[in-house]
Amino acid sequence: MFADFKTPDYDNFTKRLKQTLDRNEEYIESLVRKSGLDYTAFVRPYMETFEKLDIFFTPLSHLNSVENSEQTQKAYEESLPLLSHYHTKLSQNREIYEAFLKVETDDDAQKEVLKQEIRDFRLSGVELPDDSKKRLEEINLRLSELNNRFSQNLLDATNAYELIIENKEDVEGIPRSDLELAETEKDGKKVWRFTLQIPSYMAYMTYGPNRSLREELYKAYVTRAPQNSEVIDEILRLRDEKAKILGFDHYSELSLQTKTAPSDDAVLNFLNRLADASLPHAEKEVQKLSELAKEDGVEDIQSYDVAFYSEKLKKMELDFDDEKTRPYFEQKRVLKGMLDFVSELFEIVFAEVEVPVWNEKVIVYDLKKDAKTFSRIYFDLEARRSKRGGAWMNDWQTHHEDPEGREYPASAFVVCNFSPSTEQTPSLLRHDDVVTLFHEMGHAIHHLFSHIKERFVSGIHGVAWDVVEFPSQFLENFAYEKSILKRFAFHYESGEPMPEELMRKIRRSKNFMAATGMLRQLEFALFDFMLHQRLYQGDEVQNLLDSLRERLSLIKPPSYNRFQWGFAHIFAGGYAAGYFSYKWAEVLSADAFFACFENGEIKREITDGYRRNILEMGGSRPMDELYRRWLGRDPDPEALIRLYDLTDEL
């Protein structure tokens, strides 16, 4: 019962989409007209319309991200108004809302569906007068268009830039595998081409010896898509207006309605407490970087120097060169090793399958337990021009039971942008890439392991946004442990296992420059949250960011830095007034990791409980309740401080 991935019929896609939406509307209207509504007769069929729509539409939205083309852009952009109108119309339909109010059930998961649906109807303005509903529909449509434009502007700007380096001395010290990817010809001469794609960009920022070229590349990266400035202003205006129509003072209050954080003050106090704990450590870290840079005659270290001198400092202090790990992290072997680990941790089996895919490098596995297939996962791991940057998990099908009692499996995509393989060299990962893969796999198993029968709270559906990062961050912690690395860290040429000393250095490197990295994430989180506490426009956006940098950026970014133009998480993704979620959820993930893993040993009974009480339960109950059910207590807030070794400053 898995859906086959098929390239959409672009010429007729919007026509077929409209037909699907029209059929859904008619069907839902017929459901509402029935007398004696109960959960099975009304809610289950209603949820099924969403599942069928996702199965139809997700391949297009996915391809627009991973194989972006004029065809995908056109079909996707033409679909947005249809989808926006459809979802707004449903969410503001008073009859559907009142039907949900009448349904009763004793089942916990079904109660959670009803609670969340009633909340979401109210947050969509179902109880507002018609003119307000109409304005909300206009806002929702425009926001979907602007989010897409922001993302497309960023992708286009990323692909439009290249830095051609002709002098060999300007690439000395850059790893061989990165140079192979960069090597090209110009006028019959060998040159090196660096782009704003993350593997290429980070290769030069980390190892590039020419400081002026590092700045040139950095400036291109932090000034991408200047047209997004106007997009940001309009997005912020519309979000503010939407919040006020719904009765909130500002957008952050609206955002928190679907999160576990209780208030604006709770979020800000949490972030500022972490900042206070991190600052003393970060000052020491930056002092070391500055002293190292001065040895090269760099008196005033800048943002475009940080990666370069951090790598040098890591080599000096830890005798650790991340590049030395890459030959041991061949992508396919890492993937298999990670899957073997997950298999043993949760007693399941991954079986590779041959099914239709969108790119020849995509690998697909079915997940089995007790010889029964229960879900499917697609891995698309290498960078290419047609793929937007970053890494993510995208759900496609959701495990559930339909109105007739038929059970359906789940499926999901894991997408990354690792260095692509060449004819000479396979795709080799940095350890950071290994961590990223574990992170996205954590999201995937949260969706794929669900045992919940109700589609709206199965897998990642219905999980509060500020705890959805918990399972991903939990799994990534294992990527630093020697007992896990031993499963897949073998030299891609000789087959020799990674030396144990190198594994120990990876573990020690976990918190290298951790406080500086923490401050950077807190800067992003505070900027995002405060940006949505009142209406900021034009220069006010940059002024807010600059004010936060005064406190949190110990190495001040250049005045031309326009980070916000590329902040896709909040302007093209789902993290608006929610970027704090990464740290909020990390309290749970840190506490959970310490509960499950001690002295290099996995506590099988605890991890079994994690699977049963967290992963298999999806969004069927609030996460704080599931956590207490699992460990018999609330998470310890000090676990995050402990994870980053920041305890001595409290």
- Catalytic residue list: 440
The Cα–Cα gap between 649 and 395 comes to 41
Q: 51 and 409 in contact (C-beta within 8 Å)?
A: no
State the number of CA atoms in the 13 A half-sphere of 131 facing the CB.
0
Question: Which DSSP symbol is given to 259?
Answer: S
393 phi and psi angles, rounded to 5 deg? -115, 135
Residue 404 in 3-state DSSP? coil
Q: Could you tell me if 618 and 450 are in contact, meaning their C-beta atoms sit under 8 angstroms apart? A: yes
Q: Which residues have CB under 8 Å from 538's CB, separation 6+?
A: 233
- Counting other chains too, the contacts that 434-437 makes at CB distance below 8 Å and 24 or more residues apart are 434/329, 434/334, 434/479, 435/476, 435/479, 435/480, 436/391, 436/476, 437/334, 437/335, 437/338, 437/381, 437/391, 437/479
CA 461 to chain CA mean position, Å? 15
User: CA distances (Å), 363 to each of 357, 370, 594, in order?
Assistant: 8, 23, 32
**Residue 62 — φ and ψ, nearest 5°?**
-65, -50
In the beta sheet, which residues pair with residue 185? 190
Query: Any idea which residue has 């209780």 for tokens?
Result: 262
CA-to-CA separations, 500 to 179, 475, 496, 497, 598, in angstroms, rounded: 28, 22, 12, 9, 19
Residue keyed to tokens 């959805």:
468
**Cα pseudo-dihedral 566, 567, 573, 578, rounded to 10:** 180
Cα separation, 5 vs 410, in Å, equals: 14
Give the type of residue at 298. V
Question: Quick check: 155 and 68 in contact, CB under 8 A?
Answer: yes
Residues in the chain: 650
Residues whose CB is less than 8 angstroms from the CB of residue 27 and which lie 6 or more positions away in sequence, other chains included: 45, 49
Main-chain dihedrals φ then ψ at residue 544, nearest 5 degrees? -65, -45
Residue 365 and residue 350 in contact, taking contact as beta carbons nearer than 8 Å? yes
Q: Are strands 189-194 and 183-186 parallel, antiparallel or unpaired?
A: antiparallel
Q: How many CB atoms lie within 10 A of CB 316?
A: 11
Return contacts of 484-487, CB within 8 angstroms, 24+ apart. Answer: 484/341, 487/337, 487/338, 487/340, 487/341
Residue with tokens 């991340």: 322
Instruction: Collapse the DSSP code of 210 into the 3-class scheme (helix H, G, I; strand E, B; otherwise coil) and give the result.
Output: coil
Whole-angstrom distance, CA of residue 120 vs CA of residue 115: 9
List the structure tokens of 397.
């099908």
What is the radius of gyration, based on Cα positions, of the chain? Answer: 25
